[in-house]
Homo-oligomer: A and B are copies of this chain.
Amino acid sequence: MSSTAYMLNGFDVANTHKVEPHMQELIAQRAKRLGPSYKLFYEHPVHFVRADGVYLYDSNGTPYLDVYNNVPSVGHCHPRVVEAVTRQMSTLNSHTRYLNEGILSYAEQLLSTFPQEMSNVMFTCTGSESVDLAMRVARFNTKGTGFIVTRNAYHGITASVAEISPTMGPHVPVGQHVRMVKAPDAYRTAPGVDVDTEFAQEVERAINELERHGIRFAGMIVDTVFSTDGLFPHPAGFLRKAVDVVHQRGGLFIADEVQPGFARLGDSMWGFQRHNILPDMAVMGKPMGNGLPIAAVVAKPELLVEFGNKVRYFNTFGGNSVCIAAAQAVLDVIMDEKLQDNSKNMGAYILKGLRELTAGHSGVGDVRGSGLYLAVEFVKDKQTKEPDGEFALKLVNALRENRVLISATGPAGNSLKIRPPLPFTRENSDEFLDIFKMTLEQIS
């Protein structure tokens, strides 16, 4: 890579001459107008002009099966979301300092999917803004500044949130008030050791560390399926001991549901529910509006009383009528199309298929997942479990050439990240498994 910014599956602009002329032109325009922060996926980038359901179409009309994008979670261009947004945009798009009904009925319905103790919601525009707000609320209530995150966590891009996102790489310093813990990786946990006990001990050590440095503990935030650490859904329940430690030590537990939330994991609407825990706050974003920028913090109301009365917080676009209309349509579609069930059933079907397909493959260390969020972990050796990021990247790029969109995850990028839109059918799953099998054979 010409660039040193850490990114899995990125295009190296030094290879621009290798791609089609019309792409070269677009890449040159990007460099000229948008600058080097804008990275493309794949050794051979893709250019889409249309999308529908679980397919994206390039400028030749060629379809690509989407097994990666979690923002258009109820399917690309879902007609009910389009219709709801169009209707609301034609009627009213107001902020929250005028009274409006839509935000209240949506809030009620959203909160009904949470434990009753978490009965307040505040709306923002992005997951980053939500994490930033949750951190402010945690610090305000605990009078602490110290946070605990996992070693390869990603929580967002504001200055404050970047400090708790070690996956940003060496040029974005982890905050001096932040301590990192080993993620609860069941595949790599030593035999005889419980994942939950080990993780709880890690957290306890980190809190001790913070306090030894005079940093008051504010809380722990984790993605409840550990998306960027490598995807660790099992055994469900393993978070409970660590969360108990956080609470015993006076901290708050924030569930980052930006990726696992909104029925993605099949078992439940929210990732934390699989662990039978009660977070103090939960943050959500990406799939909430199927692509319209809306995000939220759901919290125990007692955390917002003094904060809300003393700290001015107004998010201009947060909770505006149009973004709420999109979110309402998404929630309705999840319920009406039974997408949580579909995620559970299709996820189990794909998981079984992947296990069968890879059973004899010497490079596949583990296949795991929950609902339509799955990982195939590649290793150089099944005994040492040495990660094989190179092979995973090769597979990601070969799948792209075979018109399946996917990416990789984990600190070594050695786990295939399988995360299609939720209305993925049996037919889509078979198409994916067939192409996966063929592609794996091509490159093995």
Tell which of A83-91, A181-189, A374-382, A436-444 binds the partner: A83-91
- Whether A308 touches B36, Cβ cut-off 8 Å, given contacts A76-B92, A100-B47, is yes
Which of A34, A162, A314 has most B Cβ within 10 Å?
Answer: A34
* A93 part of interface (Cβ distance < 8 Å): yes
- Whether A5 touches B308, Cβ cut-off 8 Å, given contacts A92-B56, A125-B125, A126-B317, is yes
- Whether A81 touches B89, Cβ cut-off 8 Å, given contacts A39-B97, A157-B314, is yes
Q: Mark A25-36, 1 if CB is under 8 A from B, else 0.
A: 011011011111
Which parts of A7-26 form the interface with B (CB within 8 Å)? 7, 23, 26
* A305 part of interface (Cβ distance < 8 Å): yes
Q: Are B48's CB and A316's CB within 8 A?
A: no
Q: Mark A324-351, 1 if CB is under 8 A from B, else 0.
A: 0000000000000000000000000000
Q: Are A157's CB and B119's CB within 8 A?
A: no
CB distance from A77 to the nearest CB of B (A): 6
* A359 part of interface (Cβ distance < 8 Å): no
- Whether A46 touches B308, Cβ cut-off 8 Å, given contacts A51-B92, A316-B126, is no
Residue of chain B at shortest CB distance from A154: B312
Kindly state the separation between the CA atoms of A85 and B162 in the bound complex, as whole angstroms.
31
* Cβ-neighbour of A6 out of B97, B100, B308, B312 (below 8 A): B312
* A136 part of interface (Cβ distance < 8 Å): yes
- How extensive is the interface on chain A, given as a class? 35 or more
Residue of chain B at shortest CB distance from A3: B309
Kindly state the separation between the CA atoms of A388 and B107 in the bound complex, as whole angstroms.
39
Q: Are A85's CB and B92's CB within 8 A?
A: no
Kindly state the separation between the CA atoms of A98 and B6 in the bound complex, as whole angstroms.
18
* Cβ-neighbour of A36 out of B98, B309, B315 (below 8 A): B309
Q: Are A104's CB and B39's CB within 8 A?
A: no
Kindly state the separation between the CA atoms of A381 and B437 in the bound complex, as whole angstroms.
83
Q: Are B301's CB and A169's CB within 8 A?
A: no
- Whether A47 touches B98, Cβ cut-off 8 Å, given contacts A111-B33, A159-B158, A291-B93, is yes
Kindly state the separation between the CA atoms of A72 and B36 in the bound complex, as whole angstroms.
32
Please, which residues of chain B bring their CB within 8 A of the CB of A128?
129, 315
* Cβ-neighbour of A311 out of B27, B72, B171, B317 (below 8 A): B171
Residue of chain B at shortest CB distance from A45: B99
Please, which residues of chain B bring their CB within 8 A of the CB of A35?
120, 122, 299, 301, 304-305, 308
Please, which residues of chain B bring their CB within 8 A of the CB of A95?
71
* Cβ-neighbour of A158 out of B81, B129, B299, B319 (below 8 A): B129
Residue of chain B at shortest CB distance from A326: B89
- Whether A120 touches B33, Cβ cut-off 8 Å, given contacts A3-B309, A291-B320, is yes
Q: Are A89's CB and B97's CB within 8 A?
A: no
Kindly state the separation between the CA atoms of A125 and B126 in the bound complex, as whole angstroms.
7
Q: Are A99's CB and B23's CB within 8 A?
A: yes
Residue of chain B at shortest CB distance from A111: B33
CB distance from A9 to the nearest CB of B (A): 9
Q: Are B37's CB and A304's CB within 8 A?
A: yes
Which of A34, A50, A101, A293 has most B Cβ within 10 Å?
Answer: A293
Kindly state the separation between the CA atoms of A372 and B4 in the bound complex, as whole angstroms.
46
Q: A46-B99, A76-B92 are in contact. List 16 more A-B contacts (CB 8 A).
A: A3-B310, A5-B312, A26-B101, A29-B108, A33-B119, A34-B121, A34-B122, A35-B122, A48-B94, A79-B90, A82-B86, A127-B316, A172-B311, A286-B316, A293-B294, A293-B320
